[in-house]
Amino acid sequence: MSKIGKQPVQIPEGVIIEVSPTLVKVQGPKGVINRLIARGVTVEIKDKQILVSVRGNSKPAMSLHGTTRALLNNDVIGVTKGWSKSLELVGTGFRPELAGKILSLTVGYSHPVKIEAPDGITFKVEKMIVTVEGIDKELVGQISANIRGVRPPEPYKGKGIKYTDEVIRRKPGKAAAKTAGPAA
């Protein structure tokens, strides 16, 4: 039995949970998330807590026990506080621009790269930092990864799009390699 799956998820004030055999609807002040439940996993509500359990001893259901609990916890946090990721553009001439729901990135290509925000996602631009916000942690992470994928940071000068808390390991260039001396 999963250590994570056994832990209950606390339901804060203002969050409404509706459970059906295959779907859990989490509704809060920031929005609504529908989560499909895997076969063999049951979800029930007792004393302002969500309890996740497994029916039977099937390996697929047992492997999804902790995952289901973690996803429901992320949904509860998402509809109350929301999720966000910040990305930083590093490089001369790099700049983000926001026009409605379309983020335009000028990152050294011959054309600006445009990324449209799907439903439930908002972009914020402050100088060289782009913030992706939403209630679905998975979608916020995927859109952030798509933005980073436009121009990932390179290891020599550190130019590119990186997460604000990401550390780029820098490599020495050719000049530094020549002064180090011959390899033995």
- Say which DSSP state 107 is in: S
Class of the domain covering 3-80: alpha beta
Q: Give residue limits of the domains in the chain.
A: 3-80, 83-163
Which ranges of 118-173 does DSSP label H, i.e. alpha helix?
137-150
pLDDT of residue 182: 64
Matching CATH topology for 3-80 and 83-163?
A: yes
pTM of the predicted structure, to 2 decimals: 0.87
The predicted pLDDT at position 159 comes to: 94
pLDDT tens profile 66-109: 999 999 999 999 999 999 999 999 999 999 999 999 999 999 99
d(CA 183, CA 13): 65
pLDDT for residue 87: 97
Give me the residues of the chain with pLDDT under 70, please: 1, 177, 180-184
Six-digit token pair at 86? 């910040």
- What's residue 21's pLDDT? 87
| Residue 177 DSSP one-character state | H
Tokens of 111: 């054309």
pLDDT of residue 165: 94
Q: Is 83-163 a domain of CATH 2.40.128.640?
A: no
